[in-house]
Amino acid sequence: YASRNGSTAVESKHVHQALEAHRKRSNQTEERLQEMIDRGSIYVDTDGAVTGQVNGLAVYSMGDYSFGKPSRITAVTAMGKGGIINIEREADMSGPTHNKGIFILSGFLRRQFAQDKPLSLTASIAFEQNYGGIDGDSASSTELYALLSSLAEVPIRQDIAVTGSVNQKGEVQPIGGVNQKVEGFYLCCKHAGLTGNQGVMIPEPNVKDLMLRKEVVEAVKEGKFHIWSVENIEQGIEILTGVEAGTQGDEGKYPEESIYGKADARLIDLAEGLKKFGAGDEDKDEKKKKDGASCGCGK
């Protein structure tokens, strides 16, 4: 492009032109997926708020070209002792690193909510409309946000997409493909209509890796699109819900109206409900034993 323009040196505009030409030659699959999102065949929300649902981000590689696209992640919580069920794993569609990420979520919940009581919970997490294998832990923070939203029964903003892995202490860790992921969600929002509120939440350590297309940079400068960086789950859940995460007081309790306070109260309700149903079953078993003993039938 430098020689075509009669330039004696390669300038930044020539690099941008070459990158854009390469993208247009290689993005047929990307365009096809975007068309499916635009038509509503692939479910992606870019506005509103939903409980237990978050926009995750995935990177697709096609030879020497890679791109990002959002993927809906949902969580459902209920009474039981099953722990966290990874639906992808149950369907043999989950790799070892993704499985590890799910186990880490259980560790976080135990650390946060099970220091003074058992954790009585059955939850399921799924990548909706995923029909191929999935691996990596870059969505583990996203899965945790969906889980906390479901437990606390507080809706999550759908105009924000999330990426980042998490450890058992709730620290958000860096991931790969951050530029493709940001650009992928920007494109979805652009097609749906930019509102000035949409954006992507990334791990703080990934800020130094940002090298976005000029169009995205300009949109951020103009306030049409946003990029939030977070260091921990508390910062992230507050951005996604607008509700304080909550800090334990002197008695080890969280504020009632905080995310952690609501989640802790729900876990207590689930545990008490499970205990109640368990006691009912024990009473039925005891009654059957007494009835059998009094009939004198020898059975």
Just list the catalytic residues: 138, 181
CA Rg value for the chain: 24
